[in-house]
């Protein structure tokens, strides 16, 4: 995955990306029709193997199935949310081989052999990941629908900062990167929270970043 | 139980659980992805098929033909319900434009078909094969053109009021403001789409859906589908945001029900995001005129607020004048709320309907008046606080109003005294900086609310009510209320919500939910206490419940000894409340920096000081207020549904084109609650805060931008294209 590409996506950048992704969606629908034989003919399925939260999975999928729908509809891991299906909201954020992506923008067939980590893989109600616990403590949510995506992004953002990957607001590209408030807010900006929990999410992240 | 007199000293005044910051009891489920939202309930019905809604491609007119053959032959398709082959559904008290309307199209993206297929991908692909031809009708889409001839919305005082002689007093006032403001159409843009799984069992229909008002929706579905409401169950335990957009049943539920009937299988629909903005409701655009006349000492002598908005119904609309009769004094007053008929998608309530755009205009006009007077804008508001009465309503009492405290204490906390009063004079490097203030008012209504409480023989308590938690923290405040009333620890209480088989509650809307539903749970718990008392032989009303025991004088009983018991009651609110104006109040402060070169605006600080009675859970109440502040920031700076006036639809109908605030836009936010109690509101002396948080911060941001730049933009949102060419010279 082009991890830098995802990280650098700004709010305005998403606009262009969103339009492009919509166009791709259309094209793939049309292609699917061209190749269909009409009637209720059975569509060819593609075998997909991936590992989700440590468990190997073998699936037979319609090639149009996104990674997000694979998780939600086929594996019934509904923690990853569908807010837009267009790469515009971040609710579907998961980790692929350690890098966060919008799983709605990615087809399952692109992920042969990949390691996927979803919110369910980070922790359970009885055994929360520190970031999950910090969200509860700081009330970093309201309705909870954007929350799994926020938490997956938050965990990945701190990792990106630890790894020295720069962002749009990084002031010193050669020095040691720090998890400043602006650095975190910039990197989290692909995850929309319409309930407006941003200020509390920032506090939850700062607490985890401090360790 | 009826709440028929102001609350006296009661158990909540000695509360150990209510009023304490409490992490949400549903939190661990939400943060671990285990809370099931509507479209995720694989377990509730086997063999779910997927539905895809097709929206109309015109705003008004008639469907000539729909070619469905190719779609019907497409792989995996089970059924198609199309407008050309199916009767329109009936209307309901809760929507105007039909949610599935036959050949007649009344707004863009109105549902005209649902395709049901084995998989999501198949349903989507087949829907793309439907060819629809239309005969275009004529529509009215331009509020500016329609407004001049628009009539008053009604002759109710909230739409039309004259007190004293406004015209003469305004004309004679030595200092005055007369300005016009516009606010755009806005989208709720809640993160969870409209979503429903519908399943039939003979004549019985169950919808697992995402909805704020369970009973309204059950009744609406009964009307729309011409069914007996008793045959409908609505279940909505987790709701991914609503903000008013999910007050009503929408076409996801209706089309899932019709699709499931046709497919003879349960059908799941999550409305595609790009359909939501035109298919469902939105906040109406407004045009407003504010005229305020004052004496030189700042006392308002004349205040006039006129408003114009439009709706497909030709009724209701967005009454932006709502707060104006309540916020400021002034002997001569004018309120006029006009409504035009438009053929845009149906408008309806969005968080603080009326007050959000109303504050954006009124509170900027107050800023403009303060400048003309050469007066501090905080002082101007305090001078005009209504002094213990509601202007023009001599018989109405105020229940508890502390607006002046909100403003004074807020100004202190925010460092208001450091504000440079002369606009455009505060510059730090490339940044022009400024501060702004606004007052906030939002009514605190209460509605009848019921609940059932079950005590198990192991001393656990289960609360059941059709009340909803739309992110507001309902699960937790109801558990706190039940635990407090029964004298049990919080973790002995489980709360079940959102199921129409539970007692009918107030539901979530209009910031009435928290106050009403906690009162309803209190009523049910009092009934349970009385049952326990009868069973064990003591006067429950005189006893104290604490630590799992009831104590009266020297005697004490373990409440578990009463065995398993179930009590049900509701709280109704008595006539006495009509004598009072029960409101919530806020002082909102914002600081911004504007890039002197590019005009980009960043909010650097925000503070809300809120007066809303007892705060049931300060942790989640803060979240509601800061969430409102975020949405207000969006209204001030970015949010704008652009109307295509030729074809009559909102052009930017997705989350890329409709710009809501993101992390980078929002700084640390402060929210302070005054330690007030409102005995007129409920036995808990509590009021809602969910809408108070959005009433005012947008104007505070706008006023801060003016303070920073010296440029007043009166057409929201304040995007930089509206002032870039007027920024002060850089050098
Ligand atoms: S659902 Fe993937 S970004 Fe919105
Ligand atoms: S918690 Fe509701 S959208 Fe973020």
Name the residue in chain B with its Cα closest to that of A151. Answer: B31
**Cross-chain CB nearest to A19 (options B23, B472, B656):** B656
Contact B282, B350 (CB under 8 A): yes
H or E element at residue B538: none
A82 lines ligand 1 (CB under 6 A): yes
CATH at A86: 3.10.20.30
HSE, side-chain direction, 13 A CA sphere, residue B64? 8
The residue out of A122, A139, A165 marking a domain boundary is A122
CATH number, domain with residue A175: 1.10.150.120
Q: Could you give the CA distance from residue B240 to residue B192 in angstroms, rounded to a whole number? A: 5
Domain match, A83 and A115 both? yes
pLDDT at A58 over 80: yes
Looking at A67, A95, A122, the residue that finishes a domain is: A122
pLDDT higher than threshold 70 for residue A38: no
Q: What is the pLDDT of residues B549-592, one digit of tens each?
A: 999 999 999 999 999 999 999 999 999 999 999 999 999 999 99
Contact B603, B701 (CB under 8 A): yes
Co-location of A138 and A211 in the same domain: yes
3-state secondary structure of B192: coil
Q: Is residue A128 part of a domain?
A: yes
Interatomic CA distance for residues B697 and B631, integer angstroms: 9
**Average of per-residue pLDDT values in chain A:** 85
Question: Which residue in A46, A55, A94, A101 sits closest to B121, CA to CA?
Answer: A46
pLDDT at A5: 36
Cβ–ligand 1 contact at A93 (below 6 Å): no
Euclidean distance between CA atoms A48 and A63, whole angstroms? 9
B170-174, B388-392, B479-483 — which is least confidently predicted?
Answer: B388-392
Residue B253 Cα distances to A26, B47, B197, B360, B681, angstroms: 26, 18, 8, 34, 35
- Determine the pLDDT at residue A26: 39
- Can you give the residue range of the structural domain that contains A110? 44-122
Scanning chain A, the segments in alpha helix (DSSP H) are 3-8, 11-35, 67-69, 119-122, 130-138, 147-162, 181-187, 198-210
- Cα distances from B635 to residues B190, B605, B626, in angstroms, run 15, 17, 14
B128 and A29 within 8 Å at the Cβ level: the answer is yes
Any ligand 1 atom below 6 A from CB of A91: yes
The model's confidence at residue B412, banded by pLDDT at 50, 70 and 90, is very high
A99 occurs within a structural domain: yes
**Cβ(A84)–Cβ(A93) under 8 Å?**
no
- Cross-chain Cβ contact A82/B619 below 8 Å: no
Pick the residue with more confidence: A28 or B51?
Answer: B51
Q: Using pLDDT thresholds of 50, 70 and 90, give the confidence band for residue A44.
A: confident
Per-residue model confidence (pLDDT) at position A42: 62
ipTM: 0.97
Class of residue B216 by CB neighbours under 10 A (exposed 0-12, middle 13-18, buried 19+)? buried
Q: Is residue A1 part of a domain?
A: no
What domains are defined for chain B?
A: 42-138+191-241+246-279 (3.30.365.10), 286-444+582-726 (3.30.365.10), 446-578 (3.30.365.10)
Nearest by CB to A144, from B35, B76, B273: name it. B35
Number of domains in chain A: 3
Q: How far is the CA of A193 from the centre of ligand 2 (A)?
A: 4
Going by the DSSP 8-state scheme, the letter that residue B490 receives in this structure is G
Q: Give yes or no for a contact between B617 and B21, defined as CB atoms under 8 angstroms apart.
A: yes
The catalytic residues of B are: 691
| B604-633 b/e (C-beta count within 10 Å ≥ 16 → b) | bbbbbbbbbbbbbbbbbbbbbbbbbbbbbb
Please check whether residue A202 lies inside any domain of the structure. Answer: yes
Please report the residues numbered 370 through 399 in chain B whose beta carbons come closer than 8 angstroms to any beta carbon of chain A.
none
Are A77 and A152 within one domain? no
Alpha carbon distance B599, B721 (integer Å)? 8
User: What percent of chain B stands above pLDDT 70?
Assistant: 100
Q: How confident is the model at residue A27 (pLDDT cuts 50, 70, 90)?
A: very low
Q: Average pLDDT, stretch B205-217?
A: 98
Nearest-neighbour CA in chain A from B581: distance (Å) = 29
Query: What digits encode the pLDDT tens for the residues B618-649?
Result: 999 999 999 999 999 999 999 999 999 999 99
Q: What is the mean pLDDT of residues B545-552?
A: 97
In this prediction, residues B510-527 reach a mean pLDDT of 97
Residue A130 covered by a domain: yes
User: Is residue A59 over pLDDT 70?
Assistant: yes
Distance CA B100, CA B111 (A): 5
Residue-level pLDDT at B70: 98
Mean pLDDT, range A44-59, rounded to an integer? 96
Sort out which chain A residues have CB atoms less than 8 A from B663's CB and list them: 184-186, 188-189, 191, 193, 198, 201-202
Q: Are residues A23 and A62 in the same domain?
A: no
The reply to whether A150 and A189 lie within a common domain is yes
How many C-beta atoms surround the C-beta of residue B286 within 10 A? 29
User: Which sign, positive or negative, has the C-alpha torsion B595, B599, B604, B607?
Assistant: positive
- Check whether residue A136 and residue A208 sit in a common domain: yes
**Structural contact between residues A154 and A200, judged by C-beta atoms closer than 8 angstroms:** no
What atom in ligand 2 is closest to the CA of residue A142?
1
The pLDDT score that the predictor gives to residue B324 is 97
- What pLDDT, on the 0 to 100 scale, is given for residue A20? 38
The per-residue pLDDT for range B220-276, each reduced to its tens digit, is: 999 999 999 999 999 999 999 999 999 999 999 999 999 999 999 999 999 999 999
Do A157 and A118 lie in one domain? The reply is no
- Give percent of chain A with pLDDT exceeding 70: 80
Pocket test for ligand 2, best of B30, B31, B239, B241 (most atoms within 8 A of CB): B241
Q: Is B624 on the interface with A (CB under 8 A)?
A: yes
In percent, how much of chain A has pLDDT > 90? 75
**Tokens coding A11:** 């709010």
Residues in chain B, total? 731
User: What are the strands of the beta sheet with B549-552, ordered from one edge?
Assistant: B544-546, B549-552, B555-558
If asked whether residues A74 and A143 sit together in one domain, one would say: no
Residues A115, A136: one domain? Answer: no
Which residue's CA is the closest to the ligand 2 atom numbered 3? Answer: A193
**pLDDT 10s digits, B78-115:** 999 999 999 999 999 999 999 999 999 999 999 999 99
Which of B 135-194 lie inside 8 A of A, CB atoms? Answer: 188-193
* Residue found under tokens 């046709």: B262
pLDDT bin (cut points 50, 70, 90) of residue A22 is very low
Atom of ligand 2 nearest to the CA of A143: 2
Cβ atoms of A208 and A137 closer than 8 Å: no
pLDDT score for B731: 60
Contacting residues for B582 by C-beta, under 8 A, at least 6 apart: B399, B443, B444, B445, B446, B678, B680, B681, B687
Domain identity same for A59 and A29: no
- Per the DSSP assignment, residues forming a β-bridge with B495 are B463
Q: Phi-psi category of B485—alpha, beta or left, where left has phi over 0 and alpha has psi -120 to 50? A: alpha
Q: What is the DSSP string of A25-66?
A: HHHHHHHHHHH--STTPPPP-EEEEEEETTEEEEEEE-TT-B
Which residue shows structure tokens 């929201």?
B716
Assigned domain for A4 exists = no
- CB-CB contact of B587 with B411 (8 Å): yes
pTM of the model: 0.95
Task: Tell me whether residues B120 and A79 touch, CB distance under 8 A.
Answer: no
Cross-sheet strand order for the sheet of B104-105: B104-105, B61-67, B131-136
Identify whether the C-beta of residue A96 lies closer than 8 Å to the C-beta of residue A170. no
Q: What is the pLDDT of residue A17?
A: 37
Query: Which of A83, A150, A189 is the best mutation target for the ligand 1 pocket, counting ligand atoms within 8 Å of the beta carbon and taking the most?
Result: A83
A107 and A158 share one domain: no
d(CA A106, ligand 1 centre) in Å: 10
Of A25-29, A84-88, B28-32, B505-509, the one with minimum mean pLDDT is A25-29
Q: Is residue A50 part of a domain?
A: yes
With beta carbons under 8 A apart, name residues in chain B contacting A139. Answer: 23-24, 27, 619-620, 622-623
Instruction: For residue B472, give the chain A residue with the closest CA.
Output: A142
Q: A33 in a domain, yes or no?
A: yes
Do A155 and A204 lie in one domain? The reply is yes
What is the pLDDT at residue B126?
98
Q: What is the mean pLDDT of chain B?
A: 97
Q: What percent of chain B has pLDDT over 90?
A: 97
Residue B245 phi/psi, 5° resolution? -70, -20
């Amino acid at each position: 995955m082009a991890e830098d590409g995802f990280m650098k996506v700004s709010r305005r950048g998403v606009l262009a990306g969103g339009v492009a992704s919509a166009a791709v969606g259309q094209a793939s629908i049309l292609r699917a029709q061209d190749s269909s034989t009409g009637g209720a003919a059975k569509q060819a399925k593609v075998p997909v193997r991936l590992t989700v939260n440590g468990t190997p999975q073998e699936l037979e999928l319609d090639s149009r199935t996104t990674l997000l729908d694979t998780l939600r509809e086929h594996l019934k891991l509904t923690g990853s949310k569908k807010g837009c299906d267009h790469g515009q909201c971040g609710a579907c954020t998961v980790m692929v081989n350690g890098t966060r992506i919008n799983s709605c923008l990615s087809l399952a067939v692109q992920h042969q052999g990949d390691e996927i980590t979803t919110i369910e893989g980070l922790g359970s109600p009885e055994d929360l990941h520190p970031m999950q616990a910090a969200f509860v403590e700081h009330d970093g949510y309201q309705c909870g629908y954007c929350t799994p995506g926020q938490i997956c992004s938050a965990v990945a953002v701190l990792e990106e900062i630890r790894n020295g990957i720069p962002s749009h607001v990084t002031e010193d590209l050669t020095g040691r990167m720090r998890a400043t408030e602006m650095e975190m807010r910039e990197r989290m900006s692909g995850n929309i929270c319409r309930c407006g929990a941003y200020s509390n999410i920032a506090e939850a992240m700062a607490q985890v970043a401090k360790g | 139980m009826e709440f028929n007199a102001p609350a006296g000293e009661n158990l909540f005044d000695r509360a150990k659980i209510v009023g304490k910051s409490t992490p949400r009891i549903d939190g661990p489920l939400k943060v671990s992805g285990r809370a099931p939202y509507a479209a995720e309930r694989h377990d509730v019905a086997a063999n779910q098929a997927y539905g895809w809604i097709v929206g109309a491609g015109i705003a008004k007119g008639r469907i000539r033909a729909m070619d469905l053959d190719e779609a019907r032959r497409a792989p995996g398709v089970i059924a198609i319900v199309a407008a050309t082959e199916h009767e329109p559904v009936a209307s309901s008290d809760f929507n105007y434009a039909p949610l599935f309307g036959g050949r007649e199209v009344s707004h863009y993206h109105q549902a005209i078909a649902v395709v049901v297929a084995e998989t999501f991908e198949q349903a989507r692909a087949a829907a793309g094969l439907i060819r629809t031809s239309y005969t275009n009708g004529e529509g009215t889409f331009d509020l500016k053109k329609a407004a001049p001839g628009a009539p008053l919305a009604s002759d109710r005082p909230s739409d039309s009021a004259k007190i004293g002689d406004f015209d003469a007093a305004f004309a004679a006032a030595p200092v005055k403001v007369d300005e016009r403001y516009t606010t755009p159409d806005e989208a709720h843009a809640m993160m969870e789409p409209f979503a429903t799984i519908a399943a039939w069992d003979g004549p019985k229909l169950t919808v697992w859906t995402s909805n704020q008002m369970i009973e309204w929706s059950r009744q609406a579905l009964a009307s729309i589908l011409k069914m007996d409401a008793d045959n409908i169950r609505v279940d909505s335990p987790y709701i991914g945001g609503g903000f008013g957009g999910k007050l009503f049943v929408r076409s996801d539920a209706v089309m899932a029900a019709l699709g499931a009937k046709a497919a003879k299988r349960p059908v799941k629909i999550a409305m595609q995001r790009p359909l939501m903005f035109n298919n469902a409701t939105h906040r109406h655009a407004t045009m407003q005129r504010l005229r305020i006349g004052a004496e030189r000492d700042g006392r308002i002598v004349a205040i006039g607020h006129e408003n114009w908005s439009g709706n497909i119904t030709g009724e209701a609309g967005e009454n932006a004048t709502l707060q104006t009769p309540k916020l400021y004094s002034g002997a001569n007053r004018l309120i006029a709320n006009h409504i035009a008929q438009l053929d845009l998608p149906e408008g309806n309530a969005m968080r603080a309907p009326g007050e959000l755009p109303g504050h954006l205009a009124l509170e900027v006009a107050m800023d403009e008046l303060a400048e003309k007077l050469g007066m501090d804008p905080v002082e101007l508001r305090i001078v005009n606080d209504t002094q213990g009465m509601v202007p023009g309503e001599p018989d109405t009492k105020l229940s508890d109003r502390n607006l002046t405290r909100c403003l004074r204490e807020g100004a202190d906390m925010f460092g208001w005294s450091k504000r440079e009063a002369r606009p455009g004079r505060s510059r730090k490097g490339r940044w022009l900086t400024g501060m702004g203030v606004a007052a906030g008012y939002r009514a605190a209504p209460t509605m009848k609310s019921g609940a059932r409480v079950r005590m198990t023989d192991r001393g656990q308590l289960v609360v059941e009510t059709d009340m909803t938690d739309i992110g507001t923290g309902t699960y937790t405040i109801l558990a706190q209320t039940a635990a407090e009333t029964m004298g049990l620890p919080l973790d002995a209480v489980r709360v079940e919500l959102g199921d129409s088989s539970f007692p009918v509650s107030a539901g979530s809307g209009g910031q009435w939910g928290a106050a009403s539903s906690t009162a309803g749970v209190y009523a049910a718990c009092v009934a349970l206490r009385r049952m326990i008392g009868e069973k064990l032989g003591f006067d429950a009303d005189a006893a104290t419940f604490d630590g799992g025991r009831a104590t009266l004088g020297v005697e004490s009983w373990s409440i578990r000894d009463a065995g398993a018991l179930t009590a049900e009651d509701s709280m109704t609110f008595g006539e006495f409340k009509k004598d009072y104006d029960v409101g919530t109040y806020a002082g909102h402060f914002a600081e911004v920096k504007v890039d002197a070169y590019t005009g980009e605006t960043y909010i650097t600080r925000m503070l809300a000081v809120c007066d809303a009675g007892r705060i049931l859970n300060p942790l989640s109440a803060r979240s509601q207020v800061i969430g409102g502040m975020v949405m207000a920031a969006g209204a001030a700076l970015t949010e704008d549904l652009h109307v295509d006036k030729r074809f009559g639809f909102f052009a930017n109908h997705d989350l890329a084109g409709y710009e809501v605030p993101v992390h980078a836009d929002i700084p640390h936010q402060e929210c302070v609650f005054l330690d007030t109690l409102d005995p007129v509101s409920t036995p808990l002396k509590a009021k809602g805060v969910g809408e108070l948080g959005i009433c005012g911060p947008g104007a505070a941001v706008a006023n801060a931008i003016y303070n920073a730049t010296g440029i007043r933009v009166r057409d929201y949102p304040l995007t930089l294209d509206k002032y870039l060419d007027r920024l002060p010279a850089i050098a």
